[in-house]
């Protein structure tokens, strides 16, 4: 099993000037600890589940590019980009740039978007649910086309690109991994089966997570996709102040038993997460979760 880290909160006791150095140290600590991935939310206001909108929030791809410059191994992605935030051609170009400059460590994490407050606050159009999913599918189609080095015209319902040229191409082969976030069974998980390299499900406990995997398996059968090709990731949390290694191994191990490949630990609401040494227990957890490696 792989472990990842999501940084969703940048409101730390230090001043604004301290955000950069603290985030850099968290990224390097995660890299040094053997974590597989580093994620930031793609939001412009802090989300209500974490804190008030006025709390500190960094733009996702700038933050990941900064993290790429101070790390060497860990993969980098947003969990996840709302499809409404960026024109899809520019989004693919942005992720490609991150991939090239990080020597092949970028993900495209994407979803249908939901936070209407920040859309309205910043003047970003927020179409209805059906249209957002239509835009998501067109963006996924375009990503596959651009990463196949096909610059022929793209004529979608919502997006028309005369020449979706993407040079240089990504270093990741065949392209940066595409992760779709969300658990909607009719639309989101169908798109996972059709277009994604990975899914991301909230940690609802092994039984409920497995039910989502079973839905993906069914969609894969419908579209002729190998279910085992899809990396199963779960967004969970690990509060080292309150949970022992044995408790975490038991919880994450139970997710592994139902097919989870990659647990991404979020820091929302965890006190002291930003302090030096917080990730020191990660190598031991990885050793217990992967005893034969």
pLDDT tens, position by position, 27-69: 999 999 999 999 999 999 999 999 999 999 999 999 999 999 9
> What is the average pLDDT value for the chain, to the nearest integer?
96
Does pLDDT of 222 surpass 90?
yes
Average pLDDT over residues 268-278: 88
Q: What is the pLDDT of residues 73-107, one digit of tens each?
A: 999 999 999 999 999 999 999 999 999 999 999 99
pLDDT at position 272: 86
Residues 13 and 56: their CA atoms lie apart, in Å, by 11
Exposed e or buried b per residue across 140-172, where buried means at least 16 C-beta atoms within 10 angstroms of its C-beta: bbbbbbbbeeeeeebeeeebebeebebeebbbb
Burial class of residue 223, CB neighbours in 10 A (0-12, 13-18, 19+): exposed
Query: Is the bond preceding 80 in cis, omega lying within 30 degrees of 0?
Result: yes
**Domain residues of the chain, as ranges?**
2-289
Residues 112 and 136: their CA atoms lie apart, in Å, by 6
pLDDT at position 13: 85
Average pLDDT over residues 142-160: 98
Q: What confidence tier does 14 reach under pLDDT thresholds 50, 70, 90?
A: confident
Give me the residue label for tokens 């709390």. Answer: 55
Q: What confidence tier does 289 reach under pLDDT thresholds 50, 70, 90?
A: very high
Does pLDDT of 174 surpass 80?
yes
Residue 265 per-residue DSSP state: E
Q: Which fold has domain 2-289?
A: TIM Barrel (3.20.20)
**CA-wise closest residue to 180 among 243, 239, 235, 115:** 235
pLDDT at position 169: 98
pLDDT at position 36: 98
Residues 200 and 290: their CA atoms lie apart, in Å, by 21
pLDDT at position 293: 67
pTM of the model: 0.96
């Amino acid at each position: 099993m792989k472990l990842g880290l999501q940084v969703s909160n940048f409101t730390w006791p230090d001043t604004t000037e301290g955000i950069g150095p603290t985030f850099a140290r968290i990224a390097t600590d995660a890299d040094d600890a053997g974590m597989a991935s580093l994620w930031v939310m793609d939001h412009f206001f802090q989300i209500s589940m974490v804190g008030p909108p006025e709390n500190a929030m960094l733009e996702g791809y700038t933050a990941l590019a900064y993290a790429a410059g101070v790390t060497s191994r860990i993969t980098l992605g947003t969990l996840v980009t709302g499809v409404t935030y960026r024109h899809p051609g520019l989004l693919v170009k942005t992720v490609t740039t991150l991939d090239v400059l990080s020597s092949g460590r970028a993900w495209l994490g994407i979803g249908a978007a939901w936070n209407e407050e920040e859309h309205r606050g910043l003047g970003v159009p927020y179409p209805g649910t059906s249209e957002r999913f239509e835009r998501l599918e067109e963006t996924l189609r375009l990503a596959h086309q651009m990463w196949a080095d096909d610059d022929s015209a793209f004529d979608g319902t919502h997006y028309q690109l005369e020449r979706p040229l993407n040079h240089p191409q990504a270093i990741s082969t065949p392209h940066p991994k595409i992760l779709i976030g969300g658990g909607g069974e009719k639309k989101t998980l169908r798109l996972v089966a059709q277009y994604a390299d990975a899914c991301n499900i909230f940690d609802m406990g092994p039984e409920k997570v497995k039910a989502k995997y079973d839905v993906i398996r069914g969609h894969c059968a419908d579209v002729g996709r190998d279910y085992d090709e899809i990396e199963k990731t779960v967004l969970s949390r690990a509060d080292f102040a309150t949970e022992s290694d044995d408790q975490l191994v038991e919880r994450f191990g139970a997710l592994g038993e139902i097919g989870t490949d990659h647990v991404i630990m979020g820091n929302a609401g965890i006190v002291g997460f930003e302090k030096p040494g917080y990730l020191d227990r990660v190598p031991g957890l990885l050793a217990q979760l992967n005893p034969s490696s």
